[in-house]
Amino acid sequence: MSFQNPVFIPGPTNMPEAIRQACYMPTIDHRSPTFGKILHPCLDGIRQVLKSADAKIFIFPSTGTGGWETALSNTLSKGDKVLAARNGMFSHRWIDMCQRHGLDVQIVETPWGEGIPTGRYAEILKADTNHDIKAVLATHNETATGVKSDIAAVRKALDAAGHPAMLYVDGVSSIASMDFRFDEWGVDIAITGSQKGFMLPAGLAIIGFSSKAIAATAHSDLPTTFFDIGDMQKGYDANAFPYTPPVGLMNGLKLSLDMLLDEGLETVFARHHRIAEGVRAAVSAWGLKLCAASPDLYSDTVSAICTPEGFNATDIVTLAAEKYDVAFGVGLGDVAGKVFRIGHLGSLTDVMMLSGLATAEMCMVDLGLDVKLGSGVAAAQDYYRNNPAVAQ
């Protein structure tokens, strides 16, 4: 392992050197105005990334999974009904967490490769005239299948039914890489983590709450201790956490937010889209198909690529690691062995991406797949030449 090559897994993502340096800092008093100078810019920056005027932002020493738990345990009660679609490994794991918390999940089973069936959500919400459903869960970007769902359409389904349920969105692999509109989409809780679009190590759960979600904490009966947002807010008011904050990671987050906002969110999203389009051009030149069922579902942060029947897609990932020291993502759950994943989010350029595509090609040829060396790379090169990052 030389650590020289970028990774092409859908998180943790590559870290810019400056962010690494920012994480590596001397000890400070974590209950002090000095800590406040790290904390408050982080909260403000995240609010901007979420495109929200006044969401309450919370940062926990955890990961995206802890963000899910923060959402559920602060706002819901045992036996509460929630609506969720299962269309991949991440939506599945969030549903599993709901069940372990004693919630009553109405699961809409959805083929892996499809997005949230918003038409089905609309019917279910309309039929729920008692308003038993307290929260609607939505995985914005299903990282297992490379499928992006339409959150505005989920909001529309709620509004069309005149339904008061709250909308909780897992944006772990979309926020800070793909457009996310907390206020416009009427999101009540948004969840993300540090190790994907924010280009940091794992270790932070990042969550936004609407005023409605904050109000719901008053009558939730699920126990909260570590993830209690009331305790956390009290901490913030005194430039502290209720316990010891991960100061270095948060210092890194402050820089990450500066970098994202300096580049400009729309530019960041356009960069991810361009890089992803190059990957998709390569996949099509290889004669392979994405797991995502149609172009409107294509994710700009991760592509899950189907390999031919009878071929174990995981072999590509294993060979890339062993022979070329390059990391791709394996298929998870129902699509294990059927897809391999190329992560294309975070700190990445066209040139880095071309090296990943070239490596994937070498592996596929090594393993006897009917792919021509250079075919995918050439297709991506063509796309990048004609759609340059820097205006000419």
In three-state form (DSSP H/G/I as H, E/B as E, the rest C), the secondary structure along 159-197 is HHCCCCCEEEEECCCCECCECCCCCCCCCCEEEEECCCC
How many Å apart are CA 132 and CA 130, to the nearest integer? Answer: 5
How many Å apart are CA 170 and CA 71, to the nearest integer? Answer: 10
Q: What is the nearest approach in angstroms of ligand PLP to the Cβ of residue 202?
A: 6
The answer to whether the beta carbons of residues 307 and 288 sit under 8 Å apart is yes
Q: Which is nearer to ligand PLP, 95 or 362 (CB)?
A: 95
Which residues contact ligand PLP (rule: CB under 6 A)? 11, 63-65, 90, 139, 141, 143, 170, 172-173, 193, 202
Q: What is the nearest approach in angstroms of ligand PLP to the Cβ of residue 373?
A: 31
Q: What is the nearest approach in angstroms of ligand PLP to the Cβ of residue 28?
A: 26
How many Å apart are CA 57 and CA 50, to the nearest integer? Answer: 10
Q: What is the nearest approach in angstroms of ligand PLP to the Cβ of residue 123?
A: 25
Q: Which is nearer to ligand PLP, 290 or 380 (CB)?
A: 290
The answer to whether the beta carbons of residues 223 and 74 sit under 8 Å apart is no
Q: Which is nearer to ligand PLP, 177 or 359 (CB)?
A: 177
Q: What is the nearest approach in angstroms of ligand PLP to the Cβ of residue 111?
A: 18
Q: What is the nearest approach in angstroms of ligand PLP to the Cβ of residue 172?
A: 4
Q: Which is nearer to ligand PLP, 65 or 381 (CB)?
A: 65
Q: Which is nearer to ligand PLP, 336 or 369 (CB)?
A: 336
Q: Are strands 166-170 and 147-148 parallel, antiparallel or unpaired?
A: unpaired
Residues found in the chain: 392
The answer to whether the beta carbons of residues 141 and 174 sit under 8 Å apart is yes
Q: Which is nearer to ligand PLP, 52 or 149 (CB)?
A: 149
* DSSP line for 267-315: HHHHHHHHHHHHHHHHHHHTT-EESSSSGGGB-SSEEEEEPPTT--THH
